[in-house]
Amino acid sequence: MTLNGLRLLDLLYESPIVHVNLVKGKLGLSFATADNLVDRFVEFELLEEVTGWQRNRRFRYTPYLTLFEEDETETAEEGVLQTTVATT
């Protein structure tokens, strides 16, 4: 991975939803370089384009954000456990 790639990875932990202009500004890159870098992250499936637009696209750092999503099964089991504890 390149130095700019590592810098983008650091940025994604601060801001897991980005757009090319944000990457450009935060990393001090040209628009073309930032766009190419974001495209490479999409190719490696580190970023996912979420708008479906051609302009003003937003990208999501999916591998990181999925760490914080709750599993519906876990939530249901926790609800049963809480109910059981509350009634005893």
Q: What does pLDDT average to over the chain?
A: 86
Going from N- to C-terminal start, the domains of the chain cover: 3-87
Residue 49, SS3 per DSSP: strand
Q: Of 31-35, 40-44, 79-83, where does mean pLDDT reach its minimum?
A: 79-83
The pTM assigned to this predicted structure is: 0.74
CB 5 within 8 A of CB 40: yes
Q: CATH number of 3-87: 1.10.3720.10, 3.40.50.300, 1.10.287.70, 1.10.10.10?
A: 1.10.10.10
> How far, in Å, are 17, 47, 48, 50, 68 from residue 64 at the CA level?
10, 10, 11, 15, 8
Whether 87 shows a pLDDT value over 70: the answer reads no
Q: What are the pLDDT digits (tens) for 35-78?
A: 999 999 999 999 999 998 888 899 999 999 899 887 655 555 55
Here the tokens at position 45 are 């499936």
DSSP state of 68: G
